Structure 1
Amino acid sequence: MITYPMLKPGAVIGVTASSFGADEQHRELFDEAVGRMKERGYQVSLGQTVYKHDKARSAPGRERGMEFNGMMLDETIGLIIPPWGGELLIEMLEFIDFDQLRPKWVLGFSDISLLLLAITLRTGIATAHGPSLGDLRGEKTDETSIMWQEVLSTPPGSSIVQQSSHKHQGAGAGTDSTSPYLFNLNTPTLWKSVSGQDVSLKGRLLGGCIDIIRHIIGTPYGNVQYFSRHFIQGEPILWYLESCELNTADLRRSLVHMKYAGWFDNCSGILFGRSGGNQPLYGYTTEEVYRDLAEELQLPVLYDLDFGHVPPQMTLVNGAYAEVEVTGGRGTLKQYFHG
C-alpha cells in the first residue's frame, strides 16, 4: 500500500538544503522564494543548512541527513521543499532513518529526485516530483507549475487531473524582467510518441532525473523489485525520466543499465520530459535513443512531456496510479491516490 500525505492550508514548509544551499551569490533569489511562500499563506521553517555552502554541497552528508530526519519527524512541519537541486545529495542517503520517517510531502526535482525515489522505494510513502522552492519565486506562477499546490492537497483516495502546457521555455529564451512570471514560455508544447500515434498509458509512477537516479541501481536505495512486491502488489510501473546534462551516448548507456538491472521489468511504458541537454553524439540523436528503447522493450514511449529541467513542469507523484493520454500533441495526466 502507498501512503499519501496531504498538504493543509497554511502549512509550515520546512526548507532544508539536501543538495545545494543558498550561498552569497544566490541568497537574494532564495530569500525572494521564501517571501513568496509567506505571501501565499504558508509559514516557513529554515534549517541550519540553508545558508551553508561547502564546495559542491551545502554541508556534509551526515549533517544534511540528520536535519532532514528532524524535519520529517517534526509534527509541526507539513511539507519539505529544498531550495533547489545540486550535485551530491547521494552523500546523505546513508544517514536517513527510513524506518522512522513520518508521511509528509517532499517536493523537488533534479538532484532532489534521488531523495524522492529512495523514500518511495524504501517506505511506500508517496513523494512529489515538481518545482523546487527557487522555481516558485515569481510574483505569479504559470498554470502548469502552480498545480503543485492542488496536487499535494488532494485527499488520499481521490484523484487529480493535469493538462499539458500550451507553451514551454524554448532554447535561448531569456527572462523578461518586466514580467511577473519567472519563466519565459515562448515555444508551443507538443507531447510526442515514438510511434507517432495517439497513446494511452496506465501504471504506477516512478522516476526522476536519469543523471542522478541511475547511481542507486544495485544499492539498498534502488530496490525496485522490493517496492513492486511490497507496496504495489506487482502492478505495472509507468516510468517518467528526464536528463539534465547527459549526451545521447551516456543517456543510452544509462537506460541500458536500468534495463539490465530489471528496472523496466513489468513496465507499462516510459515517459520522457524535455531536456536542455541530450546533445547528439556522432549523429546519434535523443529521438533515436527513445526509438531504440521502445523497439527493444516493445513498450510505448512518450517524450517532450512537461517535467524536468525545461519549464514549466507538472507535479508527478511517485507511487500514484496514473493514466496518461496523448491526442494530437496534447496530453492529460490523471493521478489516483489510492492503494
Structure 2
Amino acid sequence: MTVRAGARPPRLRPGDRVAVVAPSGPVAPERLDAGLDILRGWDLDPVLAPHVRTGHPELAYLAAPDECRARDLQDAWCDPEVAAVFAARGGYGAQRMVDLLDWAAVRVARPKPLVGFSDVTVVHEAFALRAGVATLHGPAVAGEVFLKDEPTRDQLRRTLFTPEDPAVTTLAPGTARTLVPGRAHGVTFGGCLALLASEAGTPDARRDAAGGLLLLEDVGEQPYAVDRALTQLLRSGTLAGVAGVVLGSWARCGPYDRIRAVLVDRLGGLGVPVVEEFGFGHGDSALTVPLGVPATLDADAGTLTFDVPPLC
C-alpha cells in the first residue's frame, strides 16, 4: 500500500471563516480564548464547534462524548462556509470517535486545511487513508507553543496564507542534524509515535510505508517506551519500504542521548536517510509540516523540500 499524495486544499484568505474543534481532550478556557484572538488577528473569523467547551459528564479526560466530538468535526469539515478546521488541542480521544465519522460525506466535501498534532495524528491518518486529503501537522490553537512562540505562529500563518513562500516549501530548521546520511523522495505522513503504534490493527493502520517519508515525534515517553513503539512499527511491517525518516522533538522523554541511542538502534538499520531534531512536535517551537505532499529529504543538508506548495 504505497503512501499516496493527498488532494491539496485551497489556501486561506483574509475574512475566511474557520472552525475550531476539540476531537480529543478538554480545553482550558483561557488558552482557547487567547488562541481565538490570535486567529482574529490574522483577519480570520473563528467559530467554535458546539461541544468544544461542554466537557464529558463522566470521563474528564475527554472534551465531550464521542458522538459529539465526531459530529463537531464532521459538521465543520462538511460546512461549505468553513474554510479550515483547527484542533483546539490534542490529549486523548481521537481514536474513540474517528470511526463515528460519516466518511462518505467527508469524501464528497470540498477539502480544506486541517491543522493539529499529537493525538490528532489519528485524524491525519484517517483523512489520508479514508478521504485522500493532504493535511497540516501544526500547532493546536489552545496549545502553549502556539500561544507563546511567535516563530511557530508565523510558520503556520505563512503555510495557510502564502503556501508558495520558500520558508514553507523548503523546511530547513537550524537545529536539524544528520542521523543517517542520504537523500530520498516520497510523500510525507506520520506524527506522534505512540499514536502511530497504537493504530496497529485498526482500520487506519498502514500495512507498509512504501514511498513514504515518515515523520516521528513524541512527548513524555521514556526511552524503553519509544523503543517499544518503534519495535511495534517494525514488527507489524508498517515501516516496510519507507523512503526516509524525519524526527522531531522528544520533549520530556528523558535525556536526549538515551533517546538518540534508541533511534539509532531501531531506525539505523532501515538503510534510508534519517534526520533528527527537525523542529516539529511538542517542543518549545514547532514547525508546521504538510502531510500527504511529495517532498525530497536531504538528511545531509537537513532540509525537506516539497514538490508543490501544500495548499493550492
Q: Shorter-chain TM-score: what band?
A: 0.7 to 0.9
Residues in 1 aligned to 2:155 and 2:85: alpha-carbon distance in whole angstroms: 17
Does residue 116 (structure 1) correspond to residue 124 (structure 2)? The answer is yes
Residue 223 of structure 1 aligns to a residue in which SS? coil
Shift of 1:160: 4.3
Aligned to 2:191: 208
Shift of 1:326: 4.4
Shift of 1:220: 0.6
Does residue 271 (structure 1) correspond to residue 241 (structure 2)? The answer is no
Shift of 1:145: 4.2
Aligned to 2:278: 305
Residues in 2 aligned to 1:272 and 1:129: alpha-carbon distance in whole angstroms: 13
Residue 146 of structure 1 aligns to a residue in which SS? helix
Aligned to 2:7: 3
Residue 73 of structure 2 aligns to a residue in which SS? helix
Cα gap change, 1:159 to 1:36, in 2 (>3 Å): closer
Cα gap change, 1:203 to 1:154, in 2 (>3 Å): farther
> Which blocks of at least 5 consecutive residues in structure 2 are unaligned?
none
Does residue 249 (structure 1) correspond to residue 224 (structure 2)? The answer is yes
Question: Given that residues 297 and 304 in structure 2 are in contact (C-alpha distance below 8 angstroms), is that contact kept between their aligned partners in structure 1?
Answer: yes
Cα gap change, 1:13 to 1:88, in 2 (>3 Å): same
Query: Which residue identity does 1:298 align to in structure 2?
Result: G
Residue 225 of structure 2 aligns to a residue in which SS? helix
Shift of 1:37: 0.9
Q: How does 1:64-103 map to 2 (within 5 A)?
A: 64-101=69-106, 102=109, 103=111
Shift of 1:89: 1.8
Does residue 319 (structure 1) correspond to residue 292 (structure 2)? The answer is yes
What TM-score, normalized to structure 1?
0.80
Q: How many residues align?
A: 296
Does residue 48 (structure 1) correspond to residue 61 (structure 2)? The answer is no
Q: Which has the larger radius of gyration?
A: 1
More helix by share: 2
Cα gap change, 1:99 to 1:154, in 2 (>3 Å): farther
Cα gap change, 1:338 to 1:13, in 2 (>3 Å): closer
Does residue 129 (structure 1) correspond to residue 141 (structure 2)? The answer is no
Question: Given that residues 117 and 127 in structure 1 are in contact (C-alpha distance below 8 angstroms), is that contact kept between their aligned partners in structure 2?
Answer: no
- Deviation string 1:139-192 (CA, Å, 9 cap, x unpaired) is x721x5422233234679x994244345xxxxxxxxxxxxxxxxxxxxxxx212
Residues in 1 aligned to 2:228 and 2:178: alpha-carbon distance in whole angstroms: 21
Residues in 2 aligned to 1:154 and 1:202: alpha-carbon distance in whole angstroms: 24
Cα gap change, 1:294 to 1:212, in 2 (>3 Å): closer
- Deviation string 1:34-82 (CA, Å, 9 cap, x unpaired) is 1121121000111111112220011111110111111111000011111
Query: Which residue identity does 2:176 align to in structure 1?
Result: W
Residue 293 of structure 1 aligns to a residue in which SS? helix
Query: Which residue identity does 2:200 align to in structure 1?
Result: I
Aligned to 1:219: 202
Residues in 2 aligned to 1:159 and 1:147: alpha-carbon distance in whole angstroms: 8
Residue 278 of structure 2 aligns to a residue in which SS? strand
Aligned to 1:61: 66
Residues in 1 aligned to 2:267 and 2:201: alpha-carbon distance in whole angstroms: 23
Residues in 2 aligned to 1:58 and 1:149: alpha-carbon distance in whole angstroms: 26
Cα gap change, 1:302 to 1:161, in 2 (>3 Å): same
Question: Given that residues 21 and 49 in structure 1 are in contact (C-alpha distance below 8 angstroms), is that contact kept between their aligned partners in structure 2?
Answer: no
Residues in 2 aligned to 1:13 and 1:206: alpha-carbon distance in whole angstroms: 24
Shift of 1:97: 1.6
- Deviation string 1:194-239 (CA, Å, 9 cap, x unpaired) is 24x5x433211011111222221121122355xx7xxxxx6x1110
Cα gap change, 1:293 to 1:83, in 2 (>3 Å): same
Residues in 2 aligned to 1:65 and 1:238: alpha-carbon distance in whole angstroms: 29
Residue 270 of structure 1 aligns to a residue in which SS? strand
Cα gap change, 1:32 to 1:155, in 2 (>3 Å): closer
Question: Given that residues 36 and 46 in structure 2 are in contact (C-alpha distance below 8 angstroms), is that contact kept between their aligned partners in structure 1?
Answer: yes
Cα gap change, 1:165 to 1:301, in 2 (>3 Å): closer
Residues in 2 aligned to 1:56 and 1:155: alpha-carbon distance in whole angstroms: 35
Cα gap change, 1:116 to 1:43, in 2 (>3 Å): same
Residues in 2 aligned to 1:43 and 1:136: alpha-carbon distance in whole angstroms: 18
Query: Which residue identity does 2:183 align to in structure 1?
Result: S
Shift of 1:338: 8.3
Shift of 1:132: 1.1
Shift of 1:247: 1.0
What TM-score, normalized to structure 2?
0.86
Cα gap change, 1:46 to 1:213, in 2 (>3 Å): same
